Amino acid sequence: MLIFTAPGQGAQTPGFLSPWLELPGLAEQLGAWSELAGRDLIRLGTTGTAEEITDTAVAQPLLVAAALAVAGLIGDEPSSFCPGPQDAAGSEQSKRRRFADAAAGHSVGELAAGAIAGVLSAEDAIKLTRVRGEAMAASCQAVPTGMTAVLGGDEDAVLAAIADAGLTPANINTAGQIVAGGTLEQLAEFAANPPARARLRPLRVAGAFHTKHMAPAVEALAAAAAGTPVKDPAITLLSNLDGAVVTSGTDWVERITRQVAHPVRWDLCMATMARLGVTAFIELLPGGTLTGMAKRALPGIELLAIKTPDQLDAARALLKAHSGTEHNGSLGGTPPLQPPEKDHGLEPKEACS
């Protein structure tokens, strides 16, 4: 079983799109999506400065567009992400195609995963990402907020300390890595009284994503999503809210909307991957962050973090070897699954929104 994963904010680096623009049709595709995003994604992904692409309103559509562009290059039929629901019963078209068995995205990466799973079009995913990014950027201006990564320590003690400081565990990424979000005053108090055996690392972000401070952005995204046509997922699609497999397009929309102001439970998403029997994990452009987390949480599976076009052949080889394998829950309403036993040995790169 092969899963496509899409990274969230923080994965972007200056110039990461440059080597991809030589591929036929990619620049034209990104140009069209730039109109929908309200930003020149090609310029931002090639010559944009680190400061420019850190802007929440810029980073989010840039990341979703990059992930979708590469996903469309990996399958047997480029630009056709997956068989539509009408093909799921085993038509000749469905049998002929090779594509991922599952999809998941970290935070804003969920918009890319939804399009990959056939819930909404790539164009609508870009449109919603623009609304999401702009609304979250605006929410950051209301109250000075921020985020701090907590590395190591006892998980229960860390969560208790976060709660005592009035903060939110905005990202629970993997064992030994929790990201706390809240006001700058609360974060300063937390830094003065850190949890035992834990190290704190303040993050360079615009605000406290996935906390109550993003409530205005939830309203904006809900209003935009209300007019977006959706279908039920055609492949297994995981949710950041609780790691559950989502089988309804309407439910997916509700989840990605609420999730803007709720913690990202990537740990539970990886637990679900393990329980479903994922054997190969491809992280779409710009890869690295999620693969680093998976190295420890998902031992024994094949991992590929896509960064450059010369990795496309390796991605297609993984797809050929692992897609379409026997697994439970592809379209069948698998309930939320519990995370694996704690393991505090990993210190991966943080991911935020």
Alpha helices for the chain (secondary structure H): 26-37, 41-46, 50-54, 56-74, 92-96, 109-116, 122-142, 155-164, 184-192, 215-225, 249-258, 266-276, 289-297, 312-322
CA 45 to chain centroid, in Å, comes to 18
Q: Give the single-character DSSP code of 5.
A: E
DSSP letter string, 215-237: HHHHHHHHHHHTT------SSEE
Which residue among the candidates 210, 213, 262, 322 is catalytic per the annotation? 210
- Tell me the pairing of strands 168-174 and 236-237: unpaired
Nearby residues of 313 by Cβ (< 8 Å), 6 or more positions away: none
Q: Are 80 and 68 in contact (CB under 8 A)?
A: no
Nearby residues of 223 by Cβ (< 8 Å), 6 or more positions away: none
Active site residue 327: no
Active site residue 107: yes
118-141: buried (b, 16+ CB within 10 Å) or exposed (e) per residue?
bbbbbebbbbbbbbbbbbbbebbe
Q: Which tokens in the block code for residue 66?
A: 């990059």
Q: Which tokens in the block code for residue 186?
A: 């609360």
Find the angle CA(215)-CA(68)-CA(113) to the nearest 5 degrees.
50
Q: How far is CA 17 from CA 54, 139, 286, in A?
A: 15, 28, 8
Please state, in angstroms and rounded to a whole number, the distance separating the CA atoms of residues 17 and 276. Answer: 33
Rounded to whole angstroms, the maximal C-alpha distance in the chain is 62
Residues involved in catalysis: 107, 210
